[in-house]
A and B are shown apart, each in its own frame.
Chain A
Amino acid sequence: GENVEQHPSTLSVQEGDSAVIKCTYSDSASNYFPWYKQELGKGPQLIIDIRSNVGEKKDQRIAVTLNKTAKHFSLHITETQPEDSAVYFCAASLAGNQFYFGTGTSLTVIP
């Protein structure tokens, strides 16, 4: 089955700086890669996603890049704000049949 690895496990940045979280996947057939933000005691919230036919996608301060050849994808958050502090999960999926999640990155934005 698919194996998703995520790094780093914790990340601290100063407010206004950028944050980058990286994931790798093992199954080259995976074609959909969402990112979720999870706050304490809540369910994961979808923040951005990318499909295998696209190399990059941006939504305001958040961007995701995908390198299919290397089988890795990354989340970029620019101009970080304290409310960006949360745990972020990457996931990989084949046609939405099931989602394989990384182990999460705890992001802390220091005011």
Chain B
Amino acid sequence: DTGVSQNPRHKITKRGQNVTFRCDPISEHNRLYWYRQTLGQGPEFLTYFQNEAQLEKSRLLSDRFSAERPKGSFSTLEIQRTEQGDSAMYLCASSTQGQGTEAFFGQGTRLTVV
């Protein structure tokens, strides 16, 4: 399968713990996006990378959230000191650079903070 891969698929953590998610994009895609989706809502933009550069961050991305893409390939999203409000589906997508290029999503990581 050469699509976008996210791990883990599910994560249950206690409030206050740190969690890290991984995203492996489609190999030739240089853009990588992180989105958050809560039940009944559309995906909300968090941040995106072009190669290893983080080009834009949403105000939703508080200082407890950090994302990296060190070699321009896979990316990690870390949430520190998790809160119950962080419970959501975290989606990763990738695309090639340019106007109107298709973005393909992974299956997401479902985070539950208890």
Contacts and interface: CB of A to CB of B under 8 A. Distances in A.
A49 B102 contact: yes
A95 B105 contact: no
Interface residues of B, number: 30
Contacts of B93: 99
Interface of A: 4, 6, 31-32, 34, 36, 41-46, 49, 51-52, 89, 91, 93, 95-104
Given A36-B105, A44-B105, A99 B91 contact: no
B42 A101 contact: yes
A104 to B, nearest CB: 5
Nearest to A104: B42
A96 B31 contact: yes
A93 B100 CA distance: 8
Contacts of B104: 46
Interface in B57-114: 91, 93, 95, 97-108, 110
Contact of A104 (B6, B41, B45, B100): B41
